Amino acid sequence: MLEATALGDGWILRHESDTLPASVPGCVHTDLLAAGVIPDPFLGQGESEVAWVGRRDWTYERELTGSSASSAQEQTDLVFDGLDTVAEISLDGRPLGTVRNMHRSYRFDVTGLSGLLSVRFVSAYAEAEAVRGRLGERPAAYAEPYQYVRKMACSFGWDWGPTLVTAGIWRPVRLEHWSTARIARVRPLVTVEEGVGVVELAVDVERTRVEVPLAVEATVGGVRARAEVDGAHGVVRLRVPDAELWWPRGYGEQPLYDVELRLLSKGATLDVWRRRIGFRSVELDRRSDAHGTGFTLVVNGERLFARGVNWIPDDVFPSRITRERYRERLEQAAGAGVDLVRIWGGGLYESEDFYDACDELGLLVWQDFPFACAAYPEEQPLRGEVEAEARENVVRLMPHPSLVLWNGNNENLWGFRDWEWEPRLAGDSWGEGYYLGVLPRVVAELDPTRPYTAGSPWSGSWRHHPNDPAHGTHHSWEVWNREDYADYRLSVPRFVAEFGWQAPPAYATLRRALPGETLAPDSPGMLQHQKADDGNGKLERGLARHFAVPDGDFDRWHYLTQVNQARAVAAGIEHWRSHWPVCAGTVVWQLNDCWPVTSWAAVDGDGREKPLYHELKRLYADRLLTLQEEDGGLVLAAVNQGAEDWTGTMTLRRMSVEGEVLGQAAVELAAGRRAVARVGVPHELTPAGPKEYLVADANPDADGLRALYFPVPDREVLYPTPRFEVALTPGGITVTARTLVRDLLLQADRLDPEARADRGLVTLLPGEEVTIGVRGWKTPDAETARSALYCVEPTR
């Protein structure tokens, strides 16, 4: 039976003559930080103070004693699940190999060897610059040379992330002792055929003795099957009658089945492979229609509007992300109504812990291959590395039912066409051969059960512009970069895979990250933690279109920029969801952050929810009510993504800002399951000018669903001075409005860094009240609680 010995202990980190204890898994930065050699790069301007780390070479060492290396088994392998990134491995002075890919695992035969195990990491900069020197310059969105090395691209910085170029043994390392044969790879094809779950396990084995007969035996769902191994390969097929289907969250349950495969020789078990699977079918409907070319996910025959978020690595030092942290962040996603998580191409193939959580929570996973925002050379040594990593990770992730889509890259096909890459490349390779050649071939060969798309955005072929909203996936960034978020409503893309708006993190996150700093939008630490090109300028211009920009009042600026982020994303999602099934999904940029930063995230780098997060709960709920401008009038749309019909009476009220009802009507709406119903708002109820607005309320059994429409921007609305009363209640506070109170927000973390409110922005009409639950705080008095309440105020 194969035996494994973990090698996580006993490592040191060496740089020239200096040594210090090392943690494995880990990285140089975290070891230096633990030893007090460097400041925390997340705090203040610490990022700049540790830039030198990524330019140095580092060596990890550990004694591999005879007792740990020796075994009664015939062969001993040294296995690294992940090395970041370019390294030379030796044992007792004997070279074992050289590696240059963070996204792969490595195995070396060390039978009978012992002594000093050394892993010498060369700076990723040195490797990337050497490859660039051999293959020539390629254009990219950023100046750092990330496209020349197979490493997490955002280590080199991004428009939301720090430049912290890591090195280290970032995933576990172990010795494996085995005899006769071991399981080298299992490729599970999981399908559903007329209600029967089918599992086909293609097994590759490595042998020490070729003459010994081998067999494989597998079990799943109470079914057992056996097959002989022919040479180094075997296939065992199992049929599970009445298999329960795995569904995305909100569409059904997520039953998971344990699969066990044993490698046998003369009745004895040599090795065991265990995974969990789920039975479901997935298709991507890309048919042409009157609106262009569709992009609709279909799971178990059910067509979905994907309620998505983009995922970036949750820490710039990925070895720090625990199973519990993955679970917490993904539970936050599920709690916001999300049913799809796109793993963005500037990051990683995540750990099993990520996909396990998605399997359990019913979160669909869209997996980018790790290519982003650059022209990637296709020559060696990169081409071989790309195919090897793709083959390994496609097979590694195949068991997970949550994984529903492989995507070739992020924005590179678009970049070639629109970012002046084509003339600069002058015929040089740039990655097209990966996205339209290598990767679809690998997926088709190894994982034909899942769809593949060449990139995001991508229209499906070069016949259309790569980012044509009428064809395939679309990234909407002109709105954030140059326009008002109201412009989201000017088009109906088939699938919006990226869009978003920036806001600073929670106040307590800023206070922790910038200790002692007098906070201002342009204070030194705030600028260090704002990575977007002209980010503050875009924030201010976007704010000025809707609010009077506060002058010198950081707290007010902080609140209003967070309101503007939530309003911007709401403008897009409400419009696009109301146009289902033409538009079949929105994937917000982004769910999470990898450090404390002003960014597009809904959950900040300390895990605190911004107002956007709570707004997503409303926007991604099964039922959504929205008022939209169309053809010179207003339309009320009832969006129903639930499994039951939604029929009810909607009350429309034309209101004055002082609270007077100027007109009222009741309209009937009937939205079938997974459908949208629309009705025109009577002209006499359409509000006009700075003193009126429209309220649409669903019938009382519809969970208080409401839509609001103001005909002019907030800076023009003649809001009354807000008046409200605050009372402490068990587990929170109750606020009672005496006037119109627009976008009330309790920033509980201002009262206690551990405090979290259970809701975000809420608008109250005169006489209405809301109870806001709070956990993790030491209950203050009502006036102290009131000091953490913010709302929109009249322009002065």
Catalytic residue set: 411
For residue 630, how far is the Cα from the chain centroid? 33
At 70, give phi and psi (nearest 5°): -85, 155
Question: Taking Cα atoms as reference points, which of 258, 235, 297 lies closest to residue 450?
Answer: 297
Q: Are 757 and 651 in contact (CB under 8 A)?
A: no
Q: Are 584 and 676 in contact (CB under 8 A)?
A: no
Cβ contacts of residue 744 below 8 Å, gap of 6+? 724, 735, 761, 762, 763, 764, 770, 789, 790, 791
Residues 294, 296, 301, CA angle at the centre, nearest 5°?
Answer: 130
For residue 224, how far is the Cα from the chain centroid? 37
Residues 298, 301, 305, CA angle at the centre, nearest 5°?
Answer: 35
- Beta-bridged to residue 238, according to DSSP, are 199
Question: With b meaning 16 or more CB within 10 Å and e meaning fewer, what string describes 541-570?
Answer: ebbeebbebbeeebebbbbbbbbbbbbbbb
Cβ contacts of residue 67 below 8 Å, gap of 6+? none
- Beta-bridged to residue 707, according to DSSP, are 696
Question: Taking Cα atoms as reference points, which of 514, 531, 604, 750 lies closest to residue 40?
Answer: 514
- Count of C-beta atoms within a 10 Å radius of residue 421: 20
DSSP string, 102-139: TT--EEEE-TT--EEEEEEEEPHHHHHHHHHHHH----
Cβ contacts of residue 661 below 8 Å, gap of 6+? 653, 654, 655
Give the DSSP letter of residue 256. -
Let me know how long the chain is.
796
At 570, give phi and psi (nearest 5°): -65, -40
Q: Are 200 and 225 in contact (CB under 8 A)?
A: no
CA distance 316 to 488: 31
> What is the identity of the amino acid at 753?
P
Q: Which two tokens stand for residue 86?
A: 């370019």
Residues of the chain by 3-state class (helix, strand, coil), percent to 5: 25, 35, 40
Helix 554-577, helix 611-619: angle, nearest 10: 20
Q: Are 175 and 69 in contact (CB under 8 A)?
A: yes
Which of helix, strand or coil describes residue 407?
A: strand
